Amino acid sequence: MIGEHDVVVRLLAAFLFGGLIGLERELMFFLSARTRSAGLRTHILVCVGSALFMIISQNLYFQFLGDAGRVAAQVVSGIGFLGAGAILREGLVVRGLTTAASLWAVAAIGLAAGGGYFVAAGVVTLIVTFTLMVLGRLEEYIRERYDYRVITLLVADAPEQMGLIADMLGQYNVAVRKIEKSERCELGGQVIDITVRIPLEVRPGELLQRLAAIPGVHQVEYKG
């Protein structure tokens, strides 16, 4: 059986580890001015709750000689509900994946702390915090170099048009993320929505003019 002193130490360790990661999420809320569904309190509760589940699992094993991981294993599946609640879809953008992943990692840290693996829990906490704070800034730097747009074209119903459009986008180093086609029979052509990643040094007006000059392209629209 795990003594009361050890129980308190493990729960306090889970509180500390979860609080460090939750604090980073909370700071991101203020810096980005965006609503976050999981901040300081949520991460602490997930970590401490996971630690308690692990403690209960171990004590049940010692008391009844059962499966020590049976209760704790449910944390892995249960944390998926919280993670799904943190994910939001706004048009083409999906937000909250990082917060959902941090909740999943915090649950694992709580299980480790509850099992008495303080070194492992501490190291993973440092890794997660470094990933969120330092690598998060690196991601922002990379993303700021590009501009995400949707280009809508009304083209003649001819297969060679896509090849000409792709060649033009390639000349400007524009990366194509998604292509959606829809028929517009009344105009005798086809509407193509192309989600692209445009380097910041490229002038959108010039690119649109070049696309509109392609034979068979009747109309070009630009959406942010």
Rounded Cα gap, residues 85 and 101, in angstroms: 12
- 80, 90 Cβ separation under 8 angstroms: no
Residue 144 has pLDDT above 90, yes or no: no
User: Is the CB of residue 169 less than 8 Å from the CB of residue 151?
Assistant: no
Cα gap 110→191, rounded to integer Å: 51
Helical packing angle, 70-86 and 97-114, nearest 10°: 160
Among residues of the chain, what percentage have pLDDT more than 70? 82
The predicted model gives 101-124 an average pLDDT of 94
The pLDDT assigned to 184 comes to 61
Q: How does pLDDT run across 24-79, given as a tens digit for each residue?
A: 888 877 666 555 567 889 899 999 999 999 998 888 877 777 666 677 778 877 88
Q: What is the pLDDT of residue 122?
A: 95
Q: What's the predicted TM-score (pTM) here?
A: 0.62
From the list 213, 211, 140, the residue with the least C-alpha distance to 174 is 211
Q: Which two tokens stand for residue 192?
A: 């193509």
Lowest-pLDDT choice from 31-35, 83-87, 172-176: 31-35
